Structure 1
Amino acid sequence: MLIKRKARWQLPESEVTDYQVFLNRRRFINSALGMTAALTLPVALAEKEPTGQAFDNTTESRFSTDEKLTTYQDITTYNNFYEFGTDKSDPATYATDFPDPNKPWQVTIDGECDKPGVYDVDDLIGKQDLEERIYRLRCVEGWSMVIPWTGFPLAAVLKAAQPNTNAKFVEFTTLFDPEQMPGQRREVLQWPYIEALRMDEAMHPLTLLAIGLYGHEMPGQNGAPIRLVVPWKYGFKSIKSIVRIRFVERMPTTTWMLAGPNEYGFYSNVNPDVDHPRWSQKRERRIGEFLKRETLMFNGYGEEVADLYDGMDLRKYF
């Protein structure tokens, strides 16, 4: 359902970003003769702006990067969300009316905890103090973005459920509804989509439950109404459109582990020294830029998270 929280949300201009900052991008086209010189062409594009309801009373986060933001246009039109199709443009095309406002969205929190429950997403979010966090996002495919998320620490929700001593991992599940998500009619992955974190990863202050971007509510193609953001891991770990959070004792087998166990490990930390079997991870293409840049260990968040993996061989636990 589209989230409407009149008591918490107003409609001011977001303080995060000037939405009139437009794309003045240059496209480089290789000549038909195979010349290495590129031809630059100015492209005048009307920049897309947020249309969803805006947030009020959000606080800035000490974890935010000051890097140049990826445009709202690119963030919302260049996506991996196989529930809506496998092309980058499919989510923006097929998620325009997602989630269905006539289908209330609930999140189940259960498993190894003392206070399980089923929560209306509005009620779950309404208890939290919202932050704006500008995070780098690194895709396993070799591209990256810088995104201003609105959300709150996952730890706040997990602590309220009071996980018991058997809780070693946290498993997340995406909505399964082929009527709303036409990509689920094809068996490109095993549905519903499942991801998971080790408990200390889930409780880490950087781990975010996001409900918006660019100061406005989350578009369907980006994981509305609530999604995970784990900035030091490859993007597929940041599961979208969550309907279940479950505490478990044993490490879950996640969707991409099933799809390609030799390519997508459980941890999936950004690591330029461990290549994907089919491509290098040493460099990345920042969306909106032409030249590639070096990929940073833990996506640049090593100072905050490296101690989580002390003593672990990150080539083995990839």
Structure 2
Amino acid sequence: MLIRPPADFKDCDVTDHGLYLRRREFILGSAGVGAASLIGGSAAQAAALKYSPNRMAIDEDKTPLKDVTGYNNFYEFGTDKGDPALYAKMMKTRPWTVTVAGLCEKTGQYGIDDLIRRFPLEERIYRMRCVEAWSMVIPWVGFPLAKLIKALEPTSQAKYVAFQTLRDPRQMPGQRSDILDWPYQEALRLDEALNPLTLMAVGLYGQTLPNQNGAPIRLVTPWKYGFKGIKSIVRIQFTANRPKTSWNILAPREYGFYGNVNPDVDHPRWSQAKERRIGEFFRRKTLPFNGYGDQVAGLYRGLDARTLY
């Protein structure tokens, strides 16, 4: 991953032209959304925030937008890869609030636009590796989860951060099935959540996040398999004990709590040594931690890598 310091950037490098033109989609709030204030500051001050010059990118071709938005796992809308694009259109993402609970000082309900205004947005071009052995390269737009966590002031007892997806079978027809125990739940250790790579995404390819990709806000952890990237988040909770997570509940031998990309630990039903990059004919080798080992391997020092799947 290439991380360039601000001195290396020109204005056109920080934000591409399309993203610049669409910036108001992210910073303009919607009226009538009741939300608590995070650390203070008026809405006018928050709306004046500009994109941070920090940009993280990899030197690999980005997956075309049509594939990123048309080939998805989002079981709330169906189990076929094309179902989310077909059925997620009915989901309303405004008004939208995220409930914060548990072991932190700033519990309460936060409007999505309040969150977007509060934290400067960045573009992060990350690899995304699905547990099903396919992968993409996606240009996300969002803010580091660490900034939100620090604003919420977790207590010293907090060791984990749990996330929950919206549950609304009227808008999410896939929830009418019993394939999972709804709502979808995921979690990270607190130190994983605070890692600089961990992103709360609200857009991709310079556009507001499409419904099928987890609008209006989702988690992105590029060193983990895609099932860890919980979508359409409505609840964040700080806990002392390890929370339950949806796929681990359903099939603990196949979907571990950590979900770290490891080519040396196979899924019980297929190899994880190689992957199919969407748009490519030949399979490529899977990288440990999806190629982000320099940034995250230290989180797991002293632990058996086989237990981190």
Contact 2:122 / 2:143 at 8 angstroms: preserved in 1? yes
Instruction: Kindly indicate whether residue 66 of structure 2 is the aligned counterpart of residue 73 of structure 1.
Output: yes
Q: Where does residue 78 of structure 2 map in the other structure?
A: 85
Counterparts of 1:156-171 in structure 2, within 5 Å, are 156-171=147-162
AA paired with 1:285? R
Output the CA distance in 2 between the equivalents of 1:65 and 1:246.
32
Output the CA distance in 2 between the equivalents of 1:158 and 1:249.
15
Contact 1:136 / 1:299 at 8 angstroms: preserved in 2? yes
Q: Where does residue 129 of structure 2 map in the other structure?
A: 138
In the TM superposition, residue 97 of structure 1 has moved relative to its aligned partner by 3.2
In the TM superposition, residue 314 of structure 1 has moved relative to its aligned partner by 1.3
Output the CA distance in 2 between the equivalents of 1:142 and 1:60.
33
Output the CA distance in 1 between the equivalents of 2:55 and 2:212.
27
Instruction: Kindly indicate whether residue 252 of structure 2 is the aligned counterpart of residue 251 of structure 1.
Output: no
Q: Report the structure number with the largest CA radius of gyration.
A: 1
- Corresponding pairs, count: 273
Q: Where does residue 95 of structure 1 map in the other structure?
A: 88
Q: Where does residue 272 of structure 2 map in the other structure?
A: 281
User: 5+ unaligned residues in a row in structure 2: which ranges?
Assistant: 1-13, 28-49
- Residue 224 to residue 100, structure 1, CA distance change in 2 (3 Å): closer
Instruction: Kindly indicate whether residue 207 of structure 2 is the aligned counterpart of residue 216 of structure 1.
Output: yes
In the TM superposition, residue 237 of structure 1 has moved relative to its aligned partner by 0.1
Residues 113-160 of structure 1, C-alpha deviations (whole Å, 9 max, x = no match) = 112121111111110100000000000000000000000000111111
Instruction: Kindly indicate whether residue 155 of structure 2 is the aligned counterpart of residue 181 of structure 1.
Output: no
Counterparts of 1:21-170 in structure 2, within 5 Å, are 57-99=50-92, 101=94, 104-170=95-161
Q: Name the TM-score, length of structure 1 as normaliser.
A: 0.82
Q: Where does residue 42 of structure 2 map in the other structure?
A: none
Contact 1:174 / 1:244 at 8 angstroms: preserved in 2? yes
In the TM superposition, residue 67 of structure 1 has moved relative to its aligned partner by 1.1
AA paired with 1:234? Y
Over aligned residues, Cα RMSD in angstroms?
A: 2.1
Contact 1:173 / 1:243 at 8 angstroms: preserved in 2? yes
Structure whose residues are more often helix by fraction = 2
Instruction: Kindly indicate whether residue 254 of structure 2 is the aligned counterpart of residue 295 of structure 1.
Output: no
Output the CA distance in 1 between the equivalents of 2:117 and 2:169.
28
- Residue 143 to residue 152, structure 1, CA distance change in 2 (3 Å): same
In the TM superposition, residue 17 of structure 1 has moved relative to its aligned partner by 8.4
Percent of pairs identical after alignment?
61
Contact 2:18 / 2:206 at 8 angstroms: preserved in 1? no
- Residue 15 to residue 203, structure 1, CA distance change in 2 (3 Å): closer
Q: Name the TM-score, length of structure 2 as normaliser.
A: 0.84
User: 5+ unaligned residues in a row in structure 1: which ranges?
Assistant: 1-13, 20-50
Contact 1:113 / 1:167 at 8 angstroms: preserved in 2? yes
SS at match of 1:269: coil
Output the CA distance in 1 between the equivalents of 2:148 and 2:106.
11
